[in-house]
Amino acid sequence: MSDDKTIRFYDQQSEAYRKLAEGFENSRLIRLMQDLPAGAHVLDLGCGPGHDSAQLARAGFKVTAMDASREMLREAALCAGVTTRHASFDMLDDVAAFDAVWANFSLLHAPKAEFPAHLAAIHRALRPGGVLVFSLKTGSGEGRDRLDRFYSYYEVEELTGLLEAAGFRVTEIEHGHVTGMAGSEEAFVTVTAHA
Ligand SMILES: C[S@@+](CC[C@H](N)C(=O)[O-])C[C@H]1O[C@@H](n2cnc3c(N)ncnc32)[C@H](O)[C@@H]1O
């Protein structure tokens, strides 16, 4: 299930979000692209306007870009070489289909109660040894930001436990700070885990 208010926000703000993301080079994405074999199939889960999907496609990877916001997907569909899929996280039902799942600041919009099922579905969707890289804001609990988007916040120990329970091996944890659309600087973590 996706949160209606959150998806409505992204539908209404897809253009503004695209402008915000434009020109931003994600060093973790560049490193992922260097590590993947040529032609690998990558799922950009919660792809937004497809900035990262486009970069992956330009580098020669096969890209499936999935998002619950139709307007975000409309932007992503304009990126050459990107296959789009309008679906929420709970609709992911692929089996051993992807070499990598890239979920940049998207899974943080799922309720905590649904997160273990999403991790299990991602694990199933990855080929054996496939890699999941995702970023989330750190903290505790759930709630809405000042733009009415729903967020779940996690500490690293909590994430590690959930990933291990889903069958992942956590291989890297990186910390950073980001200022998003709500305008406040927040701490985040980028986690790399292997299936
Ligand atoms: C902060 S944006 C990140 C977009 C993109 N990954 C990026 O890094 O620019 C969060 C995205 O997650 C999507 N999203 C939120 N809840 C979702 C859900 N339940 N299923 C699929 N996509 C969802 C939103 O529509 C939005 O495009």
Cα–Cα distance, 88 to 66 (Å, whole number): 8
What pLDDT, in 10s, does the model give residues 153-186?
999 999 999 999 999 999 999 999 998 888 889 9
Cα–Cα distance, 68 to 70 (Å, whole number): 6
pLDDT at 109: 98
* Ligand 1 pocket residue status of 136, Cβ below 6 Å: no
* Ligand 1 pocket residue status of 7, Cβ below 6 Å: yes
Residue-averaged pLDDT of the chain: 96
What pLDDT, in 10s, does the model give residues 131-142?
999 999 999 999
pTM value? 0.98
Q: How far is the CA of 125 from the centre of ligand 1 (A)?
A: 18
Test site for ligand 1: of 12, 19, 106, most ligand atoms within 8 A of the Cβ: 106
Cβ neighbours around 38 below 10 Å, total: 7
pLDDT at 183: 86
Domains and CATH numbers, the chain: 4-194 (3.40.50.150)
* Ligand 1 pocket residue status of 51, Cβ below 6 Å: yes
* Cα distances (angstroms) measured from residue 140 to each of 61, 95, 107, 117, 119: 35, 32, 15, 19, 19
Cα–Cα distance, 6 to 170 (Å, whole number): 29
Q: Whose CA is nearest to atom 4 of ligand 1?
A: 48
Average pLDDT over residues 12-17: 94
